[in-house]
């Protein structure tokens, strides 16, 4: 028998064995010319769904991604050179959402108050993690295949680290001193808020984001001084 299913807006036909011993997809309808970007987005959405299930790049199968979208696995290589590139592009979706929210929050603070701008960004980070637990876990629970140092520079996490770096530079330009090693300061910020959010999420107490705001104030007080 057959049943109609749809992935990311694209119809496909799933043939289900009457014995229930598996399923295979008929070839996906080819996108009209000029809509290759649509397939790329479908691949990213399918990969995001599968990573939430398997939690590991090694456990992710390109064949499974292709089956989810309804295409042949080799078609993936028209958009991504390998599985690592596909996984990183998928993770970049969450990093971009988080970075955009933080930039918007920072822009709302007075430009002459860089510490307040950084405070707004840190609080937004915590709220994003609290309000989007599945997408946030995707960033940190996905076990990724090691790569060489040159390729690692292109990891999407860099957009967050660069944001922390720029924020601290603005604080220094305004006369604040960053305690500790300057090169490690962005990691201190990131590790600090990530660790606190992780504890906040797992502790069996009433969830009050005000506690996260208070922690951000403590973190800035420890890291910055006049």
Is residue 95 in some structural domain?
yes
Tell me how far apart the alpha carbons of residues 165 and 4 are, in angstroms, rounded to a whole number: 49
My answer on whether 40 and 139 are in the same domain is: no
Are 115 and 217 contained in the same domain? yes
Please choose, from the candidates 136, 145, 224, 142, the residue with its C-alpha nearest in 3D space to the C-alpha of residue 188. 224
Same domain, 66 and 143: no
Alpha-carbon span 182 to 224, nearest angstrom = 11
Residue 31 has a pLDDT of 52
Domain at 138, CATH number: 1.10.357.10
For residue 36, the model assigns a pLDDT of 73
Please give the C-alpha separations between residue 166 and each of 69, 169, 174, 176, 187, in angstroms, as whole numbers.
Answer: 39, 5, 13, 14, 13
Reported as a pLDDT band with limits 50, 70 and 90, residue 29 is low
Residues 117 and 40 placed together within one structural domain of the fold: no
pLDDT tens by residue, 115-160: 999 999 999 999 999 998 888 988 988 999 999 999 999 999 999 9
Can you give the C-alpha Rg of the chain in angstroms?
A: 21
Question: The CATH number of the domain where 69 resides is what?
Answer: 1.10.10.60
Q: Are 110 and 57 found together in one domain?
A: no
Domain match, 138 and 68 both: no
Residue 19 within any structural domain of the chain: no
Is 102 within the bounds of a domain?
yes
- Residue 206 is predicted with a pLDDT of 87
| Band of pLDDT at residue 22, cut at 50, 70 and 90 | very low
Read off the pLDDT of residues 185-223 as tens digits, 9 standing for 90 and up: 999 999 999 999 999 989 998 888 899 999 999 999 999
Task: Examine residue 14 and state whether it is found in any structural domain, yes or no.
Answer: no
Distance, in Å, from the CA atom of 164 to the CA atom of 171, rounded to the nearest integer, reads: 11
Confidence of residue 25 (pLDDT cuts 50, 70, 90): very low
**183 is a domain residue:** yes
In contact, 10 and 28? CB cutoff 8 Å:
yes
Residues 182 and 99 in one domain: yes
Residues 169 and 105 in one domain: yes
Host domain of residue 42: 24-80
Q: For 154, list phi and psi in degrees, rounded to 5.
A: -90, 5
pTM: 0.79
The answer to whether position 201 is within a domain reads: yes
42 & 116 share domain: no
In a domain, 9, yes or no: no
The count of structural domains within the chain is 2
């Amino acid at each position: 028998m057959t049943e109609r299913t749809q992935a990311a807006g694209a119809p496909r036909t799933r043939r289900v064995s009457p014995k229930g011993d598996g399923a295979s997809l008929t070839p996906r309808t080819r996108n009209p010319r000029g809509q290759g970007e649509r397939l790329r987005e479908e691949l990213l959405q399918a990969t995001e769904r599968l990573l939430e299930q398997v939690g590991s790049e090694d456990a992710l199968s390109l064949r499974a991604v292709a089956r989810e979208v309804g295409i042949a696995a080799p078609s993936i290589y028209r958009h991504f050179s390998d599985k690592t590139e596909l996984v990183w592009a998928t993770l970049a979706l969450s990093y971009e959402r988080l970075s955009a929210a933080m930039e918007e929050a920072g822009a709302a603070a007075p430009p002459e108050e860089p510490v307040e701008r950084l405070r707004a960004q840190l609080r937004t980070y915590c709220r994003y993690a609290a309000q989007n637990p599945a997408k946030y876990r995707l960033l940190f629970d996905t076990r990724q295949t090691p790569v060489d140092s040159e390729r690692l520079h292109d990891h999407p996490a860099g957009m967050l680290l660069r944001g922390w770096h720029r924020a601290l530079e603005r604080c220094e330009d305004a006369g604040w001193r960053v305690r500790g090693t300057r090169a490690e300061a962005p990691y201190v910020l990131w590790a600090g808020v990530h660790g606190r959010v992780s504890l906040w999420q797992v502790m069996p107490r009433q969830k009050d984001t005000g506690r996260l705001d208070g922690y951000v104030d403590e973190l800035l007080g420890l890291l910055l001084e006049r």
